[in-house]
Amino acid sequence: MKIASLVVRAKPEHFPELMESLRAVPGVEVHGESMETGRLVVTVEDGEGYSVTDSILAVNLARHVLGVTLAYEYTDEGLELQEA
């Protein structure tokens, strides 16, 4: 499992169109928005047939996105290899 949290910057007047396009990206969920700061909080989770990396790239390239910050990333890959 891989999960990432993003802060997406955009002009507030573009939020409705942008949120619709972000929800079309596999594994993406919009959790919050701030009209005052022009930011959306988004999570990306991997799934069958797509990767977190591909979805983050799609978010970054979405129309009206001014910038994306990776706020958090988690993977459980390789945990079974570590000693307790």
Q: What's the confidence (pLDDT) of residue 82?
A: 59
Domains and CATH numbers, the chain: 2-76 (3.30.70.920)
Alpha helix ranges (H) inside 37-76: 52-61
pTM: 0.87
What are the tens digits of pLDDT across the range 29-51?
Answer: 999 999 999 999 999 999 999 99
How many angstroms separate the CA atoms of 11 and 74, rounded? Answer: 28
Could you tell me which residues are beta bridge partners of residue 8? 40, 68
